[in-house]
Amino acid sequence: MSRESMEYDVVIIGGGPSGLSTAIKLKQLDSNLNICLLEKSSEIGAHILSGNVFETRALDELLPNWRELNSPIKTKVTKEKFLFLGKNKSLSWPTWLLPAVQQNHKNYIISLANLCRWLAEQAETLGVEIFPGFPASEVLFNEDGSVRGVATQDMGVDREGNKKDSFEPGIELLGKVTVFAEGCRGHLGKQLIEKFELNKGKDPQQYGIGFKEIWEIEDKNHEEGLVMHTAGWPLDNNTYGGSFMYHAENKQVFLGYVIGLDYKNPHLSPYDEFQRFKTHPAIKKIIENGKRISYGARALIEGGFQSLPKMFMPGALLVGCDAGTLNMPKIKGSHTAMKSGMIAAETINYHFKKGDDLSVYEKIFKESWLFKELYKARNVKPSFNWGLILGIIFTGIDQILFRGRLPFTLKHKHADHETLRPANEMPKIDYPKYDNIITFDKTSSVYLTGTNHEDNQPVHLKLKDPDLPINYTLEKFDEPAQRYCPAGVYEVQIENKKNKFVINSQNCIHCKTCDIKEPSQNIIWVTPEGGGGPKYGNM
Amino acid sequence: MKILVAVKRVIDYNVQIRVKEDNSGIVTDNVKMSTNPPDDNAIEEAVKIKESGKATEVVAVTVGEEKAQETVRKALAVGADRGIHVKTDGILEPLAVSKILQKITEKEKPNLVFMGKQAIDDDCNQTGQMLSALLNWPQATFASKIEVKDNKLEVTREIDEGLETIEINTPAIVTCDLRLNEPRYASLPNIMKAKKKPIEEILASDLGVDTAPRLEQIKVEEPPKRKAGIKVASVAELVQKLKNEAKVI
């Protein structure tokens, strides 16, 4: 069946900070452009999750009058703390000894989902056509190999792939330029990086998994504007990660944990590390008698400068964390994502008006503050390969004494799926039972995300080899998918005395961790039917 | 034949409902909203009847705040011809909605009025019935099958005992059950076309309807938490506990 097609000047895939900034900037440069933006979640913001302490630098450039536009950027950072945690103790690190990149006094505590909803309003006012609930499932190419646009997912297909009565074929959206802004490990971005060898000569990309919960806490424990980070317990010296706790408005705290996906022990459960972290006396005393109101998780990019692929290709651009513009030592990716989108818009404008090749992206990028920022930050994450303590010492030297200007660049040596050691060589970890007060099981957590997928549809987590999980991964790595998935999608069940690998794809919260961490890269995340997945509120 | 379909904007059925801290209501800020699910079935059925040639126009109507218009827009994207948005602020009770729909019905003169059997937010299940009384029209509630005949409808109803089939004269009110049909998806081209379809905006006050609530809401609370269960080792222990602790046998 042939699909309908629609033509636009620019087609943007993804309604996060980078895609929306691309759209807004394009319309500011030329209000006559026809721009369409696709978003896989049921509404803008429903799949996005971030800390978030927001640096306004990119927004100041994009919408200088944002303060007058009723933006959801309200809570200024008033106080900062950094704690090193031991099992029961905590040591406060003086903030003046923190590198400048980790100081937040000019920043704001925000919900990125709400920021995106607001950016979408601004974009729609400018005439951008935004279509939530339509995942782009396929890249379309011209005969000369350049990107022609995307196709949206067919709707109304049953589990076996047959068309239901409600079948609605996907449509082709053709753009003179297509901008991919899917966020970390975008499923089309991944294909494009491979096809156009955009990561040639770059280090393997590095990822982390981030968790976030929103708690409503007691008045006496709440200090609006307080930003607190921790390192140390419950992670060991060799596992990269840490926590954040941001005191937002309405007596809420945004509490979260990030763990590098280059961890080695297959018995490690990032979810349980986060749950356990909350039981530390320094944390528990703040959230005690509070109420958990939201939960979510999402993979994030940590590779930075060394791993950043080329962001242009014939007919298309790759922006934000679909490429990987997050600044790891700053623990911020929103302002950099926005800036990369704005550079994409400038590039497209030159392309349309002067006939410049899209490769002009690189030139504008290299002259921007974004490039300088990522360059300075480049050595922090790889130094933690030497462990937490040496990593901190090196970061102090690199960031405080040399301000990121050391004359060498450390490398990321391994991709995250290569780092797991065999299960029998690594210690088992005994995680405490959930108390349903401070710590919770995955089921009740996923319940808070509002996640659903229409049940009779093809499983959107594909196995290249369906037998591999039981025949190989279970024996060698004790099937770590059971633990790295933050939503309990993967289970090994015993059926007729035989192990069986079960994929509860309906629970999937679209974090992409399985696509990244599966040791044989055997799990492929593809787009489910539109509108499926979590329904995050103010994450 | 003209069909009027009433649609309501509610919190999406996947979202976990949260009570406001001061117990004054539920949290709706930044919460995903959708069309009330059985209202989708009502729209679908009306569009199907039109596609079968038995109706000539489908008009979608909603009552509520500014953003309620999204539900009308969605109805237009799946096949309704035009929309009406009656604008109001504040709490609306079923009686007020029925009175507004009565005015719209008198103005539009449809042969049929469809709506969902109830809204998933307040679960009232009253608007269709009240509208029927106000208009003095026949009603068929909880419809899981509708057959249009000359000046009559044959409607199968979902009732406690099973299925009941009734015949009613038109004009009539039908409230729709989820089993009635499977609502179609709004395709991207149809969403775009829907942006150009007309939506008439009417102020509730201009219809001369008093929408003031008749009920006073004292407070909203979460249902009490269920206690965790326990595991028993044997049937004997289970029986003993049911007898001595739960005292149910």
Q: How many CB atoms lie within 10 A of CB A40?
A: 27
The answer to whether A129 contacts B192, with C-beta atoms less than 8 Å apart, is yes
Rounded to an integer, what is the distance from CA A117 to the centroid of its chain? 17
* Cα–Cα nearest to A317, from A358, A279, A355, A287: A358
What is each CA distance from A321 to A11, A18, A302, in whole angstroms? 18, 8, 10
Q: For helices A334-354 and A17-29, what crossing angle results, to 10°?
A: 40
Judge whether residue B58 has pLDDT over 70: yes
Q: Which class for B160: exposed (0-12), middle (13-18), buried (19 or more C-beta within 10 A)?
A: exposed
What domains does chain A contain, in order, with CATH numbers? 5-67+113-202+309-376 (3.50.50.60), 437-525 (3.30.70.20)
What is the maximum alpha-carbon separation in chain A? 68
Write out the residues of chain A at the interface with chain B, using a CB-CB cutoff of 8 A: 4, 6, 42-43, 45-46, 111, 113-114, 117, 129, 131, 134, 152, 155-156, 164-166, 168, 171, 173, 216, 251, 293, 436, 447-448, 450-452, 530, 535, 537-538
- pLDDT tens-digit map of A258-295: 999 999 999 999 999 999 999 999 999 999 999 999 99
Q: What are phi and psi of B29, to 5 degrees?
A: -65, 130
* Cα–Cα nearest to A190, from A318, A297, A93: A318
The answer to whether B188 contacts A134, with C-beta atoms less than 8 Å apart, is yes
- pLDDT tens-digit map of A202-250: 999 999 999 999 999 999 999 999 999 999 999 988 899 999 999 999 9
Tell me the pairing of strands B2-6 and B112-116. Answer: parallel
> For a pLDDT cut of 90, what percent of chain B falls above it?
86
The answer to whether A535 contacts B15, with C-beta atoms less than 8 Å apart, is yes
The pLDDT value recorded for residue B90 is 85
Instruction: List alpha helices for A99-233, DSSP H.
Output: 112-125, 187-195
Judge whether residue A393 has pLDDT over 90: no
The answer to whether B185 contacts A452, with C-beta atoms less than 8 Å apart, is no
Judge whether residue A387 has pLDDT over 90: no
Mean pLDDT within B50-72: 96
Averaging pLDDT over each range in A101-115, A305-319, A393-407, which range is the top one? A305-319
pTM for this one? Answer: 0.93
The pLDDT value recorded for residue A67 is 95
In the block, residue with structure tokens 């050391």: A406
Smallest CA–CA distance, residue A291 to chain B, in Å, is 11
Residue A95 or residue A257, greater confidence: A257
> Are B92 and B201 in contact, with CB atoms under 8 Å apart?
no
> For a pLDDT cut of 70, what percent of chain A falls above it?
100
Smallest CA–CA distance, residue A525 to chain B, in Å, is 22
Query: Which residues, at least 6 apart from A459, have a Cβ–Cβ distance to it below 8 Å?
Result: A159, A503, A505
Distance CA B111, CA A155 (A): 33
Residue in B with minimal Cα distance to A72:
B30
What domains does chain B contain, in order, with CATH numbers? 2-222 (3.40.50.620)
Residue in B with minimal Cα distance to A155:
B185
The answer to whether A537 contacts B182, with C-beta atoms less than 8 Å apart, is no
Average pLDDT, chain A: 94
Mean pLDDT within A287-312: 96
Mean pLDDT within A412-429: 95
- pLDDT tens-digit map of B1-37: 999 999 999 999 989 899 998 899 999 988 999 999 9
The pLDDT value recorded for residue B224 is 87
Q: What is the DSSP string of A189-207?
A: HHHHHHHTTTTTTSPPP-E
Q: B-chain residues within 8 Å CB-CB of A166?
A: 182-185
Smallest CA–CA distance, residue B189 to chain A, in Å, is 8
Judge whether residue A376 has pLDDT over 60: yes
| Total beta-carbon pairs less than 8 A apart between chain A and chain B | 61
Mean pLDDT within B64-90: 95
The answer to whether B189 contacts A171, with C-beta atoms less than 8 Å apart, is yes
Judge whether residue A102 has pLDDT over 80: no
- pLDDT tens-digit map of A26-39: 999 999 999 999 99
Residue in B with minimal Cα distance to A135:
B188
* Cα–Cα nearest to A351, from A339, A340, A364, A338: A364
Q: What is the DSSP string of A20-71?
A: HHHHHHHHHH-TT--EEEEESSSSTTTT-----EE--HHHHHH-TTGGGTT-
The pLDDT value recorded for residue B229 is 83
Q: What are phi and psi of B3, to 5 degrees?
A: -120, 130
Smallest CA–CA distance, residue A168 to chain B, in Å, is 7
Average pLDDT, chain B: 94
Cis peptide before A407 (omega within 30 of 0): no
- pLDDT tens-digit map of A319-374: 999 999 999 989 999 999 999 999 999 999 999 999 999 999 999 999 999 999 99
Q: B-chain residues within 8 Å CB-CB of A164?
A: 182
- Judged by DSSP in three states, A208 sits in strand
Q: Cα-Cα-Cα-Cα dihedral of B124, B129, B130, B134, to 10°?
A: 170
- pLDDT tens-digit map of A451-504: 999 889 999 999 999 999 999 999 999 999 999 999 999 999 999 999 999 999
Query: Which residues, at least 6 apart from A478, have a Cβ–Cβ distance to it below 8 Å?
Result: A266, A267, A423
Distance CA B57, CA B15 (A): 34
Instruction: List alpha helices for chain B, DSSP H.
Output: 37-51, 69-77, 94-108, 127-135, 188-194, 235-244
Across the interface, which of B15, B185, B191 has its CB nearest the CB of A156?
B185
Across the interface, which of B18, B188, B192 has its CB nearest the CB of A293?
B18
Write out the residues of chain B at the interface with chain A, using a CB-CB cutoff of 8 A: 12, 14-16, 18, 21, 29-32, 34, 182-185, 187-189, 191-192, 228
The pLDDT value recorded for residue A1 is 55
**Confidence bin at A396 (pLDDT 50/70/90):** confident
Smallest CA–CA distance, residue A46 to chain B, in Å, is 8
